[in-house]
Structure 1
C-alpha cells in the first residue's frame, strides 16, 4: 500500500490490500480455467471467427457504458467502411472509429516486455486515440484536466469527487505509474495487477472525458501482455451486462479506503465467467469436429441415410443454432433443398431416427435443434 499527500485533495491511497482467502480462491479458479483454455487446440479458422467477434462486441460494450448507441454488428459495419443505419449521431460513430484504432494500437504493445512496464506516454496515447477529434466539454486529447469533475450517483453508491487541480493529477499519475511498475505490483498475479490499474486510474480520473474507456483498455493491455487470451476483450462485455454492479463495486471500494476486495471480487467473477464461456465455446468447436467424424462413421455403417447426414451437416455449418420445425424442412431454405421432393412421412421418419440416436433434440413447441453432445451417450 502506498499513501500520497496531495496539494489540495488530501491523502490519496494506492491500495493492494484485500481479503486474501476470499480473493485467492477466485484466483485459483480463474487460473485453472485459463490453463485449461491454453491447453485446448485452436484452429486458425476458429480464431478468425472468434477474434473479430470479441473485438466488435468489446468496443460496443465499453462505448455503451458511456452512452454510445452502436451495437456490435454496427461496429463491424463501421470498421468495414459502411455507414450504420440512421439513428446514430456523428459523435457516436466517431467514438467507435476511435476505439477501433485504440484497440488495434494496444495489439502492438501486448507482447514485450513481460510483465509490461507502461508509462504516462502509453496512457496519453490511448486517450488521444479515444478522444481524437471529439468535442467533449473542456477535453484536449492526451492532456490532463485542471478542474472539478464528479463521478457516480446516489443510485450506485454515491458521488465521488476525484482530485481537481492539475498539480495533484500530475503528481498522482507519476505515483500511479511508479507503483504499477514496482516489484510489489509486478509480482502480483496479473489478474490482480490489471484490476488495480483499472480501479486506481479511475480514482485519479485524470482527463475530462474518456477515463472509463482508458481504464478498461489499460486493464486489457496488462492482461494481453501476460498472454491472457479472450478475457481482455470479454471483460468489457461483462461490465456492460452488470453495469449497476460495476459502479457499486467502485463505490464500495472507495468507501472501504484500505481494502480493494469489493472491486477485485467483482472483477475476478467477470474473469471467471468470461473464461468459462470461452472454454464452453472452444469445447463446442471441438465437438463439431468430433461429430463430423461420428457422422461419417454412422453413414459408413448405414445407421443414418445420406439425406439425414446432409441435414446434420447443414446444422453443423449453421453458426446461428436457430431451431427448425418439420414444416421448415419442406418449405424453408436451406432444408428444402433436401426435403422438397420427399413426403412428410419420410421427413418425420428422418427426424424420428435422429432423435432416437440423440443427434437432435426437440422442445415443447416441436422445434428441433442439433445436439452436439448426442454422440457422448
Structure 2
C-alpha cells in the first residue's frame, strides 16, 4: 500500500490489500482456465473469425457504458465504411471510430510493451488522444490533464465521488500511479490483479475531463495483453457493460472500503472467469466441428450414412447460428431444399431417422431437429 499527500485533496491511497482467500480462489480458477485455453490449438481461420468479433463487441461495450448507442453490428458496418442508422449522431460515430483506432494501436504496440517499460504517462496520453480526438467534449483537450473539479458516480450506484481537483495534484498522482504500477510489489502480483488495480486507481485519479472510463479499460487491456493474455483484454469491456450496475457499485464499495480493494477485484475476476469460460467453450466447439467433419468422412466411406445425409450435416456444421429446423423446412427452406426438394417425404424421414439413431441429430418436443456435436463421441 502506498499513501500520497496531495497539495489540495488530502491523502490519496494506492491500495493492494485484499481478502487473500476470496481472491486467490478466483485467481486459481482464472489461471487454470487461461492455461487450458493457451493449450488449445487455434487455427488461423478461427482467429480471423474471433478477433474482429471481439474487437467490435468490445468497442460497442466500452462506448455503451458512456452512453453511445451503436451495436456491435453497427460498429462493424462503420469500420467497413458504411454509415449506420441515421439515428446515431456524428459524435457517436466518431467515438466509435476513435475506439477502433485505440484498440488497433494497442495491437500494434504488443512488441514494444514486451521490450520497454510497461506503462508510461505517454502511453496513457496517447490512448486518451486517440479516444477523444475531434470530439466536442467541454473543456477536454486530448492528452492533457484536467485542472478543475469533477464529480463521478451517482446516488443510485453507491454515491458521488470527487477526484483530486487541481492539476498539481493530478500530475503528482499520475507520476505516483506509474511508479506504483511498475513497482516490484505490483509486478509480482498476478497480472489479473495488477491490471484490475490499474483500472481502479486510474479511475480514482480521473486525470482527464472526459474519456477516463474508456482510457481506464484500455489501460487494463494493455496490461493483460502485454502479459500474453488472449481474448480477455477485449472481452472484459463487454462484461462491464452487461453488468454495468454491478460495475459502478464495485467502484463505490471499494472507495468506501478505503484500504481494501476486494470488492472491485472480486467483480473483475468474475468477469475474467466468465470471459475465459466462454472462450474455452467456443474453441472446444471449433475443435468438435473439425473432429465431426473427420468422423462424417469415416461414416460415408463405410456407407453408414449416404452422401445426401452427409451433405445435410455439412450444411449444419457450416451454420454458426445452429438454428433448429422442421421436416417441412427441410424440404422447402433454403439451404436444405437444395438437397431435399426433389426427395419424397418418406425418404426425408428415413434420413432423419438414421441420423437420430446415430446421435448425429437431436429432436426437441416440437419436432425441430438440430446438430448434435457430441454425437460422434457418444
Shorter-chain TM-score tier: over 0.9
- 2:180 matches 1:179: yes
- 2:247 matches 1:277: no
Mapping of residues 299-310 of structure 1, within 5 Å: 299-310=300-311
Q: Distance in 1 between matches of 2:11 and 2:60?
A: 36
Q: Extract unaligned runs of 5+ from structure 1.
A: none
Residues 207-246 of structure 1: CA deviation (Å, up to 9, x unaligned): 1110000000000000000000000000011111111111
Q: Would the aligned equivalents of 1:147 and 1:164 in 2 still touch at CA under 8 Å?
A: yes
Q: Extract unaligned runs of 5+ from structure 2.
A: none
1:110 CA displacement: 2.2
Q: Would the aligned equivalents of 1:110 and 1:222 in 2 still touch at CA under 8 Å?
A: no
Most deviating of 275-284 and 321-330:
321-330
- 2:313 matches 1:312: yes
Q: Give the structure 1 partner of residue 61 of structure 2.
A: 61
1:118 CA displacement: 1.2
Q: Give the structure 1 partner of residue 106 of structure 2.
A: 106
Residues 157-214 of structure 1: CA deviation (Å, up to 9, x unaligned): 1111111111111111111011111111111111110000000000011111100000
Q: Distance in 1 between matches of 2:151 and 2:329?
A: 56
* Number of equivalenced pairs: 377
1:112 CA displacement: 3.8
Mapping of residues 254-273 of structure 1, within 5 Å: 254-273=255-274
- 2:134 matches 1:133: yes
Q: Would the aligned equivalents of 1:253 and 1:262 in 2 still touch at CA under 8 Å?
A: yes
The SS at the match of 1:13 is: strand
1:147 CA displacement: 1.3
Most deviating of 143-152 and 127-136:
143-152
Q: Give the structure 1 partner of residue 121 of structure 2.
A: 120
- 2:23 matches 1:23: yes
Q: Give the structure 2 partner of residue 296 of structure 1.
A: 297
Residues 81-112 of structure 1: CA deviation (Å, up to 9, x unaligned): 11112211111000000001100111122234
Q: Distance in 2 between matches of 1:310 and 1:36?
A: 33
Q: Distance in 1 between matches of 2:365 and 2:270?
A: 34
The SS at the match of 1:272 is: helix
Please report the RMSD computed on the Cα atoms of aligned residues, expressed in angstroms: 1.0
Q: Distance in 1 between matches of 2:263 and 2:114?
A: 27
Q: Would the aligned equivalents of 1:30 and 1:272 in 2 still touch at CA under 8 Å?
A: yes
Q: Would the aligned equivalents of 1:3 and 1:11 in 2 still touch at CA under 8 Å?
A: yes
Q: Would the aligned equivalents of 1:111 and 1:227 in 2 still touch at CA under 8 Å?
A: no
- 2:362 matches 1:339: no
1:113 CA displacement: 4.2
Residues 250-304 of structure 1: CA deviation (Å, up to 9, x unaligned): 0100000000001001111111110010000000000001000111111112211
Most deviating of 340-349 and 189-198:
340-349
Q: Distance in 2 between matches of 1:278 and 1:142?
A: 34
